[in-house]
Amino acid sequence: MGLLEGRVALVTGGAQGIGLAIAQRFAAEGASVVIADIDLDAATAAAEAIDGPAAGVRADVVDPDDVAAMVAATTDRFGRLDVLVNNAGITRDASLKNMTLEQFRQVIDVHLQGTWLGMKEALAVMKAQVADGRADGGAIVNMSSISGKIGNFGQSNYAAAKAGIVGMTKSVAREGAKHAIRVNAIQPGFIDTAMTRAMPADAQEAATSSIPMQRAGQPDEVAKVALFLASDLASYCTGITIEVTGGRHM
Ligand SMILES: NC(=O)c1ccc[n+]([C@@H]2O[C@H](COP(=O)([O-])OP(=O)(O)OC[C@H]3O[C@@H](n4cnc5c(N)ncnc54)[C@H](O)[C@@H]3O)[C@@H](O)[C@H]2O)c1
């Protein structure tokens, strides 16, 4: 019996990288999975490649209508929503001097507005499921970053957004707690995905050499922690943030 047997999970930004690894790991543990991504073709292809019930939908997490529609698509298709992973993310790195207001706003919007909208829609559905006895709880996992803890040169937008996700997680954890809806966050360090492969080679090397475990993390190593937080293994955990960094910035 899988850890998420009979559960329905929605993963934003699930078409590639960490989100895809989470969708795959959840499916392997018995969940029906909806992959929501701004790239519909990639979301559809990712869902088709999953071994188990899965669907791909297009959603821009910044758009309130898209976010409402992705949650509705999940409940229409699979009848319920038990787990939401707010994972969609972007970077627009630049020093404060060079960063444009647009770059600042884009990053704040995708991470903070996107996570806020996702939680708002999902919490309402999860609360209703608990109230009418169809569920005994729910779980939300928000993707922060170690950048939100330590700050990174050139990431005044991203670090602010990722730190904000931690505060938002704790606030909504308090609101969800009496309904047995748990809300937690993950702070990955340097994980081998398209996002980090886009960094200059010397920056990648500098990052890797500063990791006590001396290697980048793999997306599935974040997915396993998301599984823990999404499953009953974490039944008494809410409002926490788990670092997945190979010891970097402990
Ligand atoms: N890779 C790392 O080292 C690392 C470290 C810490 C935190 N994170 C966070 O983990 C999450 C996933 O990162 P990743 O490395 O897998 O990135 P990635 O770039 O490989 O994947 C991000 C996914 O999000 C989607 N996306 C982007 N904007 C979107 C939007 N507005 N609406 C819906 N989908 C959107 C993209 O299409 C893509 O499929 C992000 O929140 C990122 O900030 C990554």
Q: Is 236 a catalytic residue?
A: no
The pLDDT value given to residue 224? 99
Pocket-forming residues, ligand 1, beta carbon under 6 Å: 12-13, 15-19, 37-39, 59-62, 87-90, 110, 143, 145, 188, 190-191, 193-196
From 27, 158, 159, 169, active-site residue: 158
Buried b (16+ CB within 10 A) or exposed e, 19-48: bbbbbbbbbbbebbbbbbbbeeebbbebbe
Q: Which atom number of ligand 1 is nearest to the Cα of residue 91?
A: 43
pLDDT per residue, tens digit, the chain (250 aa), is 899 999 999 999 999 999 999 999 999 999 999 999 999 999 999 999 999 999 999 999 999 999 999 999 999 999 999 999 999 999 999 999 999 999 999 999 999 999 999 999 999 999 999 999 999 999 999 999 999 999 999 999 999 999 999 999 999 999 999 999 999 999 999 999 999 999 999 989 999 999 999 999 999 999 999 999 999 999 999 999 999 999 999 9
Residue 62: both structure tokens together:
């910044």
Q: Where are the domains of the chain?
A: 8-242
The pLDDT value given to residue 202? 92
Q: Find all residues with CB under 8 Å of 105, minimum gap 6, and list them.
A: none
CATH code of domain 8-242: 3.40.50.720
C-alpha 133 to ligand 1 mean position (Å): 34
- Tell me which residue has its CA closest to atom 38 in ligand 1: 13
Contact of 89 with 111, CB cutoff 8 Å: yes
- Tell me which residue has its CA closest to atom 42 in ligand 1: 89
Pocket test for ligand 1, best of 145, 169, 195 (most atoms within 8 A of CB): 195
The pLDDT value given to residue 236? 98
Q: Which atom number of ligand 1 is nearest to the Cα of residue 111?
A: 41
C-alpha 191 to ligand 1 mean position (Å): 11
